[in-house]
Chain A
Amino acid sequence: MVNGEVVQLAVQPHRTLLEMLRYQLDLIGSKQGCDKGDCGACTVQIDGVPRLSCITLALHAEGREITTVEGLGAAHGGCHPLQDAFDRWDAAQCGFCTPGILMSAEALLRKVGGEVTRTQVREALAGNLCRCTGYTKIIDAVVDASRPQAAETDDTSATEEAAQ
């Protein structure tokens, strides 16, 4: 399963999950940075847990559920509250690290299930390097997206339903 869709694919055993996503499925949101586990640009979720796809074999993903940044907004009308917050806080500069950071951050928000602290964000993103932003705005954006009002202002239908 990739982003909620069943995918059947012939993959060579020595292909990484990142190579399969980028070069066989054309899902180029996940980035190839260091390609050896140092930078986090290739972070995807496997069964909801963030992992590095550049050092995961594609065959490891067989029968498991993969979510990439392309699938992040699916349950939110195309744009996840985190993506909206990254936009509002200017949390992406070149944007190379952003897809990986979003996948780590989403797992944190799900785990905590409420407002997160800056320390929690720093710890959760400790495997995702950013060479541009200095991290401050990334942390601002993740904390903001974890606040209940951020989700409500984003999802107008939910607000309307709540008002009725």
Chain B
Amino acid sequence: MLRLPRFDMVSPTTVDGVVAALQTPGARLVAGGTDILPNLKHRLDRPPVLVDLGRVAELRTIDVDGDVLRIGAGMTLTEVSEHPRVREHFPSLSQAAGLVASPLIRNMGTIGGNVNLDTRCRYVNQTDFWRSAIGGCLKSEGDVCHVVPGGKLCVAAMSSDCVPVLISLGATIVQVGPNGRRELALETFYTADGTQHTAREDGEVSTELRVPLPKGPRRATYSKWSVRGSIDFPLVSVALRIDLAQDAVSSVVQDVVAVVGVLGSRPRVVTRLDDAVGLKLSDPAFATAVATRVHAQCKPLENVPYEAPYRRQMLRVHTRRAIEALVDAG
């Protein structure tokens, strides 16, 4: 039995009400609760009050707004994954949302919670009793890091399935707080510090994700590997977006974006993919070129289960297989 610490709860019905409620020092947001409640049961925080997003109707829409698809932060992962507009324009997002945890958690967990998901580490996502045996770490009660001994920065893993995909699709995130509304590229929302891994400012709530509609033919996919086919967080996580000259896999690639998760606290946007641009998507040299860059630039750490060298090798393998699957699908 894992008990929650005591806290108060408020359930505003508007975003303004949420922002007002967040004025209480130490207040935390709860949406689906599938991340924060296990973390509170593990005593990773002791907020005086939880601000519940479950009754804010404004956050529960998906619609096309000009040339972007707006996804309300309160939409569940099941709803995002099954939504006709998401399926039509962003199959890789539908795929990633549909691969999070289990159907039960997808019925509860929201996309807003998924992009604000706390970073994860084998030394921190444990009971306080377990952690007391090692004296905690930078992200809990201690002052050392067990993953990078001597390290001054926590490198707990950004483990969201949707984040690499949303970044690959060029999404922006809308933050509303006491100083009004701001919109920032999701790519710039994450920082390298696992104890404070987003650019969220005090008192802010994420209200929506805005994903630009595709302007031309493209293929996009998400590759996740975990030990079990369900329930588990990703251990290898690669999002790919490939823009094509024509709508065929024999077409020339005009642009390619690869974003990798579950490394440190920030997803990595793989660079120098220009040697893959100009090749045909169906040319095996294209898959090799992308997989080689992903492997060269992404170095998993011992922050989650499974050996880092193995996961690094698998990044290459899963990237190549994901591209081959796109080619096979036509």
Contact = CB atoms under 8 A, between A and B. Distances in A.
A87 to B, nearest CB: 24
B84 to A, nearest CB: 17
A117 to B, nearest CB: 15
Contacts of A38: 231
A55 B102 contact: no
A28 interface: no
Given A60-B33, A127-B231, A35 B103 contact: no
B50 A50 contact: no
A128 B101 CA distance: 11
Interface in B40-96: 41-42, 50, 52, 54
A56 B37 CA distance: 8
Interface in A120-156: 123-124, 126-129
Contacts of B11: 59
Contact of B34 (A43, A55, A129): A55
B328 interface: no
A12 B6 contact: yes
A42 to B, nearest CB: 9
B108 A56 contact: yes
23 contacts: A13-B7, A14-B6, A14-B7, A16-B37, A35-B41, A36-B37, A36-B42, A50-B103, A50-B104, A50-B107, A51-B108, A52-B34, A52-B108, A55-B34, A56-B108, A59-B11, A59-B52, A60-B52, A60-B54, A126-B102, A127-B102, A128-B102, A128-B104
Contacts of A35: 1-2, 41
A104 interface: yes
B21 to A, nearest CB: 13
Given A14-B6, A59-B11, A104 B52 contact: no
Contacts of A123: 103
Interface in A18-56: 32, 35-38, 40, 43, 49-52, 55-56
Among A55, A59, A104, max chain B CB count under 10 A is at A55
A43 B54 CA distance: 19
A79 interface: no
For the complex, would chain B's binding face be called helix, strand, loop or mixed by DSSP majority? loop
Contacts of A14: 3-7, 9
Contacts of B107: 49-51
A36 B41 contact: yes
Interface of B: 1-9, 11, 30, 33-34, 37-38, 41-42, 50, 52, 54, 101-105, 107-108, 229-231
Contacts of B7: 13-14
Among B30, B33, B103, B105, max chain A CB count under 10 A is at B103
B108 A59 contact: no
Shortest 7 CB-CB distances between A and B: which pairs?
A127-B102, A126-B230, A127-B104, A13-B9, A36-B38, A35-B2, A14-B4
B229 A126 contact: yes
Contact of B231 (A32, A51, A124, A126): A126
Contact of B103 (A15, A37, A55, A124): A124
Contacts of B5: 14
A18 to B, nearest CB: 10
A116 interface: no
Contact of A37 (B6, B52, B105, B230): B105
A163 B105 CA distance: 43
Given A37-B34, A57-B30, A127 B2 contact: no
Given A13-B7, A35-B41, A38-B231, A57 B104 contact: no
Contacts of A16: 4, 37
Given A13-B7, A37-B38, A51-B107, 20 more contacts: A13-B8, A13-B9, A14-B5, A14-B7, A15-B4, A35-B1, A35-B41, A36-B37, A40-B102, A51-B104, A52-B34, A57-B30, A57-B33, A57-B37, A57-B50, A60-B33, A60-B54, A127-B104, A127-B230, A129-B231
Contacts of B33: 55-57, 60
B108 A127 contact: no
Among B101, B102, B108, B231, max chain A CB count under 10 A is at B102
Contacts of A32: 1
Contacts of A56: 33, 108
A60 to B, nearest CB: 6
